[in-house]
Copies of this chain bind each other. A is one copy, B any other.
Amino acid sequence: MATDTSSTGTPDRVSRIRNGLLMAILEHRLLPGTKLGEDEIGQVYDASRTLVRAALQQLAHEGIVDIEKNRGAFVASPSPREARETFEARCLIEGAIVERAVKARSETWRVRLDDQLTAEADAEARGDHRAAIRLSGEYHLLVAEMADHELYYSLLRELVARTSLTILLYRRHRVHFCGVDHHRLITDAIVSGDAVRAKALMIDHLKEIEAELDLSETEESNASLADILQG
């Protein structure tokens, strides 16, 4: 098994499990509703249930995993309502983030943003959807990093993850433009120091993604996982 200790400053065994699951979910390799058995995960990461449970509880707190008492953990299936709330929160927080990002702009950041954009375009060109989805989220997190606001960053991390699940569940058209063009426009506004334009573009970008989804209320109770996977 791979013993990579370099990824983060966290040689924590539970973090390794958490990050592995998170990556799989963000890349849509684990679909909403998928059962996350403790023993099964434990075997994959060669860890006991104790550690797996800790990782699952963390992900549950981030809203990426649902834990049902005496039934186990599942990849979360955000309800339409949760989806709308997530987008509203993202508009609010990312609006504040881009304003701060503009203030922090510099040549170094311009380069990092540019690298990110080329990586995104690359993945899309290669047709690597999984990487494209992940990189699309990472762009927003890069802007959040610019904002130099730890709290906003960690909040956005959770929101981005939930957005990824939401898009997977509710998108109308099979193919979803991950928004590299939008990202480029936003980047231009940021590096040129136009805060109000950057903020407007960011919010429009988010609203456009939301508009591509079908968030009509089906039932009061969340759509069953079986419905989504087997239907």
Q: Which residues of A contact B (CB under 8 A)?
A: 8, 12, 54, 57-58, 61-62, 69, 81-82, 85-86, 88-89, 92-93, 96, 149-152, 155
Taking a contact as CB atoms under 8 Å apart, the answer to whether B151 and A86 are in contact is yes
User: Given known contacts A57-B57, A89-B152, what 11 new A-B pairs fall within 8 Å (CB)?
Assistant: A8-B69, A61-B61, A61-B62, A82-B151, A85-B151, A86-B151, A88-B96, A88-B149, A88-B151, A92-B92, A92-B93
| Separation of A102 and B57 alpha carbons in the complex (Å) | 35
Q: Which chain B residues border A93 with CB–CB below 8 Å?
A: 92
How many copies of this chain does one complex carry?
A: 2
| Separation of A69 and B88 alpha carbons in the complex (Å) | 36
Q: Which chain B residues border A86 with CB–CB below 8 Å?
A: 151
Q: Which chain B residues border A151 with CB–CB below 8 Å?
A: 82, 85-86, 88-89
Majority DSSP secondary structure for residues of A touching B? helix
Question: Within the complex, what minimum Cβ distance (angstroms) separates A77 from chain B?
Answer: 14
Q: Which chain B residues border A54 with CB–CB below 8 Å?
A: 57
Taking a contact as CB atoms under 8 Å apart, the answer to whether A152 and B57 are in contact is no
| Separation of A12 and B68 alpha carbons in the complex (Å) | 12
Taking a contact as CB atoms under 8 Å apart, the answer to whether A82 and B150 are in contact is yes
Taking a contact as CB atoms under 8 Å apart, the answer to whether A85 and B152 are in contact is yes
Q: Which chain B residues border A57 with CB–CB below 8 Å?
A: 54, 57-58
| Separation of A58 and B57 alpha carbons in the complex (Å) | 8
Question: Within the complex, what minimum Cβ distance (angstroms) separates A188 from chain B?
Answer: 25
Most chain B beta-carbon neighbours within 10 Å: one of A12, A54, A61, A62: A61
In the complex, which residue of chain B has the Cβ closest to the Cβ of A81?
B150
Q: Which chain B residues border A88 with CB–CB below 8 Å?
A: 96, 149, 151
Question: Within the complex, what minimum Cβ distance (angstroms) separates A49 from chain B?
Answer: 11
| Separation of A150 and B151 alpha carbons in the complex (Å) | 19
Taking a contact as CB atoms under 8 Å apart, the answer to whether A150 and B58 are in contact is no
Q: Which chain B residues border A61 with CB–CB below 8 Å?
A: 58, 61-62
Question: Within the complex, what minimum Cβ distance (angstroms) separates A212 from chain B?
Answer: 21
